[in-house]
């Protein structure tokens, strides 16, 4: 089972080394940041003193919040993405960069972060890795620290592979993510099922507190 999981994780990571997506995504920020989006009211409940962006890609969201944040740590499984962020943020703000294994927050001290967020990425991850990250999030957040996670709510094709699914949503579920969060020792503060690109209830947002 572990080998299959590693294979899937590596496949997802490999599919996100292509640069075309990142350039296009820079032009599509509104879904996350515009008035009327479900994300900002929850994002505004984060204390950005020490904040991690998990699965940062080329850093479009980090750039957007840089002026509001204290210390930012950008984490991604792909070295190429972290290299792009190093270049993008050279000399700007207090930004650190970490390449991880795909289910961990290496080099982050216990109880050291006020916030973590992850947009447009966990929707693709293996559900087992979402659980692993929730446990890591509980470890690194200070008591009262919060995490805002954009997760998959696609319960179709449980035996399949994410790339077979609508918008590359992996098998996932908001109710399962809420359960995992609580078992990881986190408190669920808010949760909402959302539509994605016209697909009803495909995604969800989860705000948790350590
Ligand atoms: C669709 S991109 C989104 C990037 C960024 N969050 C954004 O919205 O622009 C998905 C990101 O997840 C990263 N990724 C894929 N699998 C991962 C994993 N298991 N752990 C951490 N990052 C991962 C990819 O390298 C990529 O940066």
- Is the beta carbon of 120 within 6 A of some atom in ligand 1? yes
- Note the helical H segments in the chain: 2-15, 20-26, 30-33, 39-43, 60-65, 79-88, 127-140, 174-183
**DSSP β-bridge partners for residue 73:** 52, 96
**Under a CB-based contact definition with an 8 Å cutoff, are residues 123 and 149 in contact?**
no
> For 38, what's the count of Cα atoms within 13 Å in the CB-facing half-sphere?
16
For residue 5, the CA-to-ligand 1 centroid distance in Å is: 17
- The residues of the chain scoring below 70 in pLDDT are 1
Cα–Cα distance, 111 to 109 (Å, whole number): 6
pTM, to two decimals: 0.97
DSSP characters over 126-138: -HHHHHHHHHHHH
Question: What pairs with residue 74 in β-bridges?
Answer: 53, 97
16 C-beta closer than 6 A to ligand 1 = yes
**CA distance readout (Å), 85 to 88, 115, 166, 167:** 5, 19, 28, 25
CB-ligand 1 contact for 9 (6 Å cutoff): yes
Ligand 1 near 52 CB (within 6 A): no
CATH number of the domain that residue 151 is part of = 3.40.50.150
pLDDT at 1: 55
Q: Are strands 71-76 and 94-99 parallel, antiparallel or unpaired?
A: parallel
| Protein residue with least CA distance to atom 24, ligand 1 | 16
Per-residue model confidence (pLDDT) at position 20: 87
pLDDT value of residue 28: 92
List pLDDT tens digits, range 52-78: 999 999 999 999 999 999 999 999 999
Domain with 153 in it: 2-209
Q: How many whole angstroms separate alpha carbon 85 and alpha carbon 98?
A: 10
Would you call 189 exposed, middle or buried from its count of C-beta atoms within 10 A (0-12, 13-18, 19+)?
middle
Number of domains in the chain: 1
57 ligand 1 Cβ < 6 A: yes
Nearest to 152 by CA among 166, 164, 140: 166
Report pLDDT for 86. 98
Q: What is the DSSP letter of 154?
A: B
């Amino acid at each position: 089972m572990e080998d299959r999981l590693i294979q899937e994780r590596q496949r997802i990571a490999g599919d996100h080394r292509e640069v075309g997506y990142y350039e296009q995504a820079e032009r599509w920020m509104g879904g996350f940041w515009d008035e009327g989006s479900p994300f900002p009211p929850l994002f505004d409940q984060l204390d950005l003193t020490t904040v991690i962006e998990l699965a940062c890609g080329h850093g479009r969201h980090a750039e957007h919040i840089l002026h509001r944040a204290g210390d930012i740590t950008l984490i991604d499984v792909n070295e190429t993405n972290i290299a792009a962020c190093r270049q993008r943020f050279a000399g700007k703000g207090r930004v650190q960069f970490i390449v991880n294994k795909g289910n961990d927050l290496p080099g982050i001290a216990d109880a050291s972060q006020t916030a973590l967020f992850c947009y447009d990425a966990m929707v693709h991850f293996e559900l087992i890795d979402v659980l692993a990250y929730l446990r890591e999030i509980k470890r690194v957040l200070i008591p009262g620290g919060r995490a805002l996670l954009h997760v998959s709510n696609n319960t179709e094709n449980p035996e399949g592979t994410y790339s077979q699914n609508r918008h590359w949503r992996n098998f996932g579920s908001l109710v399962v993510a809420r359960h995992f969060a609580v078992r990881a020792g986190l408190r669920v503060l808010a949760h909402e099922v959302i539509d994605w690109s016209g697909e009803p209830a495909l995604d969800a947002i989860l705000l948790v507190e350590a």
